[in-house]
Structures are given as C-alpha cells and as structure tokens.
Structure 1
Amino acid sequence: MTASGKLQQGIQFLFSQFDNDLRREKCMTGMEARVRRGLWVGKVPMGYDKVIVGKDMVLKPNKTGKLIRLAFQLKAEQGLSNTDILKRLKAQGLVLYNQTITKLFKNPFYCGLISHGLLEDGEVVEGQHEPLITRQMFLKVNGLQAQNAHGYTQVKEDEELPLRHHIKCGSCKKPLTGYEMKKKQIHYYKCNTIGCKLNRNASKLHNLYEGFLAELEVDPRYLPKLAEIMEETYYKLTEESRSEEKRLNTQHTELKKRLDVLERRYAFGEIEKEMFVRYSSELKAELLEIEQNLEKCAVGLSNPKEFIKMGLEKAVTISQAWSKANVQSRKQLQAMMFPEGVYFDREMEGYRTTRVNGFFALSSQIQGFLAQKEKGKSDQNNHFSLSVVRRGIEPLLPE
C-alpha cells in the first residue's frame, strides 16, 4: 500500500474513533438540547425498551427492568449483599456480575434523573422516562453501597487511587487494585493475580500517567494549522455519512406526512379502523427503523469547526487537567482518552495502550509531521492524498 493510501486508511480509522469517543462533547447543541428536555440520547439503559406511543418514541421498563427494581428493593429494604442479590436475580433468569450491578445501583436514570456526558460534571436533569424506583430508595441504596463490610467508605481510596481498574497489568492483563500502607499513609497499586507480584507506589504511577498524557499534547503554535487540516479532513471523510443522513431525513419527512394524512382521514371517518391500524402500524415501524438508522449514521457535529477548536484546546493541557481535577473528573478524562484502559509494563516501567482517543491521537500525529517539516526532515515526495487537504503535508503513517 502506498504512503497516501496508508494515510487515508489511518485517518479514516482515527476519525471513526473521533466520532465515537468525542460525540458526547457539549458543542453538539441539538443532542444537548434533547438531554436537557429530559430525553435520553444514546444506547438505551439496561432494563428499558424503545416503544412508540402515539407519535412519540418513549422508553418503557421491560422484564429486565422489573428485576433491576427488585435488586434495588433487596438492597434498600433487606440490606442484602450484592452477592446474595446476584443469586436471587440469577434464579429468576437475569445473570449479572458484581461490577455490573454496582454500576446499575449508581445510575440515577433508574430513579427518573438523567446524568449525561453532554451535561456539566455532576449535573442532572428530570427525565421524561418512567422511573423504576423512588429517589429515596436510590439514595438509601447508594448510602449502603458506599460502605464495605468493615463499615468505612471508599471515597478516600477513590481520591488517592483514581487509576484503580483503569490500569491493567502488562503481564497478566488483569486490572490493578489498590491499598494503603496505613503506618506510612502511602498508597499502592497492585495486581491480585497469584504469583504476579506487581506492586507500585501510587505517586510514581500517577507521575508516569501525567507523562503518558503529555505525549498526546499539542504545542499551541501549531493550533491554527492543526485546526485547518482536521476540519478539512473531517468534512471529506464524513461526506458519505452526511449524504446518507440527508436521504434518511427526506424519507422520514415523507413518512411523517403520510402518517399525518392517514390520521386525518381516519379522524374524519374516511377510512375504517382496521385499515387505519394496519397502515399506521406499518408507517410507524418504518419511521422507527429510519430513526434507528439515523442514530447510526449521524455525523452528530452541528459545528465541526468549533468542536475541533475545543478539542485542540483540551489537547494543549491534557496532563495538567488530569493532575488538577477531582477524582470524578479524572476518571471521566481517563475513560475519554483511553477507552480500553492502559497497561503498565514492568520492564519498561511505563504505560502502553491498545486504543487512544482518535481525536487526540490524530492531532498528536499531525503535529509530529508538522514539526518534521518545520525542521526540514520530512520526505517532500509524500503528501496528503485527500483532495480537500492542502498539498505539502506529510502522511501520518509511514510506508
């Protein structure tokens, strides 16, 4: 494959991550507005289904939702451990793991509130969906969840060990846990795999993590050129998706018109109920299918220029943002930057990862080649092949 071919393939891969990893940013005003109205955006939470009610698509609890409600009740009213609750659920046909049920217990969606990446940190809004439990029950369950068998809270440990479970052992691939050496008040990360013996000072791993993040930072002097290249590339690579979205929107509009006409004719007695039910059901099913396809293909950026500008501004101070943030914000940033976590390699005493957020990976790589060109070290025979990208910039990927 030629250098230009590798370049295009590399950018397409990175921008596919860019769409998935950063779509939740607040510059997506349309989706943010939906969330602020109490409408859920994204994958439907466990325990709910999308159902058409009249002209609207709403979220309704399903059979799994009823069992999730039972889990909350067993925790709040009987104080059962997660292990015992999991056994009860399994007996009724729902198999979950401890990590999953812990996440469910912490999700305010089940008490009628929405917490979303499109909102400010810690912000919640009143949802329009049917809640499974009361807010009082949600608060009671999370009060119990905050305590372990010895009666102390996990808050301090989370503050001191924000990378717990995010870091994985490079040898056995298991997530690292953490503990405190109480006499010295020093925290450590460790691998619990028998015989592995990976054990590192938390402060050391935090410093290494800041350095790992810093490798993806960009120099402010490259921001204008980076913004130009990334915006042009984004438009080129999302052209097909935008065309498909336009086609689906046209179909959706036509189907809505046909459904409106059908409903008016039925209201005025021009057609029988049997015919109305039959054809309206077909039209609603088609509308639902189109809406699902729109979710899949939607580019999702109402203002790519502003989006890219905001992302690049974040890329200037990623490591500082992490070091100064509270534990909740640190964990959110970690998940955004490295969606599959990072591995600690004891031989190199450093981190590696299988997946970096595509936006920041791309900006870092483009900056590297801009720097090479600036120093006169680039191969002037290699250029971007995409027609919308200006000539004279070297490819991101080597031959």
Structure 2
Amino acid sequence: MKKADLYIRVSTDEQADKGYSQRNQEEILLRFCEINKIEVRKVIYEDHSAKTFNRPRWQELLFEAKKTKGRHIDLILFTKWDRFSRNAGDAYQMMNTLNGLGIEPQAIEQPLDLSIPENKMMLAIYLAAPEVENDRRALNVFHGMRRARKEGRWMASAPIGYINRTTENGRKYIAPKEPECSILKWSFEKLASSEFSSEQIWKVAHQKGLKCAKNNFLIAIRNPVYYGKITIPKYKNEDSYLVQGQHEPLISERLFNDVQDALDGRKRKPGIKIMSLDELPLRGYLLCSRCARILTGSASKGRNHYYYYYHCSSQCGCRYKAEDVNEALLTELKKYSLAYDYKELCTKILINVYNNITHGAKDGRKSVLMQIDEQNDRLRKARELMLTSKIEPEDYSIIKKETEINLNKLEAKLTDFAQNPIKLDELLVRAVDILCGIAMLYQNADNEGKRAIIGSMFPEKLHFDGQQHRTTRINEVARCIQLISSSLQGKKRRARTEESALPTWVRPPGLEPGTKRL
C-alpha cells in the first residue's frame, strides 16, 4: 500500500474570496485516499502564499524527506496544482527534487500521468494559469497604488513624524504625530543652518524622543513628503516627478531645499559646530594664543570633583581654567549691553539706517524674480537651439529638467517671501531688547542657548590671552548698537560737564555740580 502526505494550503485572501477552506480540502483528499486505498501518513496545513516554496511547513516536509531519502513516503497529494505552486519555474525545479527522492507530487482534481510526454503540456497550463493570475493581480494593485499616489495619497506605513488615520467614510490618510513631528521640524531647521553634522542632530533628536535609527533618519530628511509632496517613481517611459500631497506638510519647501543644499555641499558651511558640555560652552569657539589652533575642552578628575579646562590639542601647552575663560566672556558681553534709556532711540536710528541703505526695496524678492527670469531665458534659448538642430533633443531634455528643478526652488522661495514678509520694526525691537540684557540672557541660558549667542555675536573665532577675549569681527548690529550707545553716553557726559562749568547764576535752581536732573 502506498503512503502519502496530504498537503493543504490556503492563503487569507483565497479563504475570503474563493472559499478554499482547509476543512474542505482535507475531506476531499481523505475520501480520495480511502477510495484508492492509500495510507495517509500525515496531514500538513499551510497558511502561506504559493509564490515561492519558502513556506515554513513545506520546508519541514522537504527537510524530513531529504533526511529519510523518501523511504517513508511515496506521494504528496493536494487538490489542485495551484495548491502546490503559483510559479512554473520553481514548480519544475521542486518536482525534479522530489522525483530524485522517489516522491511523486500529484493533484487529485487535475490528475496527470507525467510518464506520458504529452501530459507535460497540460502541466504547463495548470502551473502557468495561477502564475498569470498572480501577476495580473499584482499589476492591478500596482496601477491602483500608482493612481492613488498621483492623487496625492501616501500609500504605505506612515513616515517618521506621521501616523496612519482613517476618516469616518473609511478613507485612509496620514496626520502629524507629536512629539515626533516637532522634533523633525527642529532637525530640519538645524540641518539648514549647516552648524552641526547630521549625526550630531540625530543624536540630540533621539534624546528629545525621536524613535528611529540613524539610517532611517538620514532617509527621512531626504523625503519630500515633509513639505507636502508625493514622489511618483519612474515607470516605463514616464519619468519620476512630484505631485502635491493631500496630507499636512511639516516644513516649507524652501526649508527642505536649504537642507538638501546643505547635505549635498551646495551651501557654504561656516564650519561644523560640536556639541559641548555645560561647563565648556566655548569649546570650538576659541583659538590657541600660541599656535592659533582651535582649543578643545576636557575635565580632570580631582579628589572630590571634576576640574574643567580649555586646552590646545598640540604640544604647545596652552591651557586655561574654564571658569576664568567663561567669566571673561561674560565681562566682554557686558560691553555690548545697551542702557534701557537708549533702547527706543537706538531702534529708530537702526530703522533709518536700513531704509537709507535699501531705499525700502524688497531686495530678496527682487533677486529671486531676476533669477527666475534668467532660468526662463535659458530654457527659451535651449528650445531655439533644439529647433535649429544646434543641440540634440536629449541635451534639451537634460537642460529642461535642470531648469525646472531650479525654477521649483526659486518659486518656493518666492512663495515664502509672500507668506512670511519681513517685519523689520518688530525684529529690531526684539533684537535691541535682547541686547539690553545680553549678559544676563547669556548667564541664565542653557548650554545650547549660550553657544547660539556666541555664534551670533562673534562670526569669527575668539582669542583668549589669559585675561580677556579678542576678535577681529563682531555682529554688525551689536557693533552698531555699541557705537550708538558709546556716542550717546559721551554726549551725555559732555553735557553734564558743560552744565557743571556754568556760573551759578546761569545754572538752574537747585542743581549743584555732580547732581542728576530728575
């Protein structure tokens, strides 16, 4: 009597759509074995796709058959050939493997005597039909998903910073997820400034609560979904392009383009900054007074606590106590603190200076419009050269693609100008107010805030000679305010001196030399 293993396979969609239940297959196979007097050794249940033979229970069956060299089994029975495989190439290879072990696979509802050559044609039809069905289904799904992408829908698991949602009518979409979306906004802003490397920003974002690996973070910051666009991948003769998405963007297109320029090296980098300890806020901003190298910082362990130093990485031996260096910078910042009495007057002077320089023109917007005209002119010239056969159509396509990319970036900047007009009055009032208490603001700020103040106040590195800080450049607004403050204080001192030198009969009553007027 022949021995057989019964192989029963279904997939979830087949059970729902076609009714291929395991119980139904089992009844048909057991009845067939009973009629044909075949001994059933075991029944194998599989819930897996038949696209490949990389199925858990099938692999167990194959491993056991190879181990025993097929001595305990003569047949593997299933209802139809699509239960065996939906890939003709893999099916022929597996049949050769089983035949080598002396095992015959057979579909009881589509029986074939494979010793007859003509039956192999029927076998090819039985195996090819489910494969064609699979391919057609996959193609329909692909075209459906591509159509949905063109409509601006995100057709995958939500990217970092978003979460999958479903409306009341069953329509799926992605929505911002806190706190990840806020952390990503912060990451994009820091990347656009080119102050820190992407790895440093990822580490801080991870500490803030962004749950993603470094590679996923690097992929995310290249994804246009964050400024509201969906990528349509290249397919056949259709090039890849972007469409407006139906989801809420996290950042502006201009910010995204600035980040890409910074990552690709097209944006001038002022020098990658480094993360620093709270006790060493000046790390990376100081130059050695002996060899002009950048000073680093570290801690030395004492008996009871750590002592922090700024020191040179070379052998020159330059070394300063961090406490003295930090205190000297605070003293330096006090020189730029503006007296509150002059705040309103200083603001008016700065606004007048700005208006005299720019004459009220929107220089940024005007520059962008000029660049747009240049790109359109370039495209027009390239079109004329192609029409006169001076350049090939392929070269024109390359020029057109490059020009369209540049135009998209410029139009994003123009849109940003329209949405975020510069309100100089408000900005200057805030800036002057900050400079009035810059020393106190620095003293109370956290480490990141201190480094931001240093970087904005001093565009170039600082020299510390052991007592005070020196630099060749200072922020233009801070320098201008310092000059105005010094000038106003000088005029006030001169006025007091002149008033005290007046005869008693000219001096206002009750005002003695050296007293202040109320």
- The TM tier, using the shorter chain, reads 0.3 to 0.5
**TM-score, structure 1 length as denominator?**
0.48
Structure with bigger gyration radius: 2
Between 1 and 2, higher relative CO (CA 8 Å, sep ≥ 6) is seen in: 1
**TM-score, structure 2 length as denominator?**
0.38
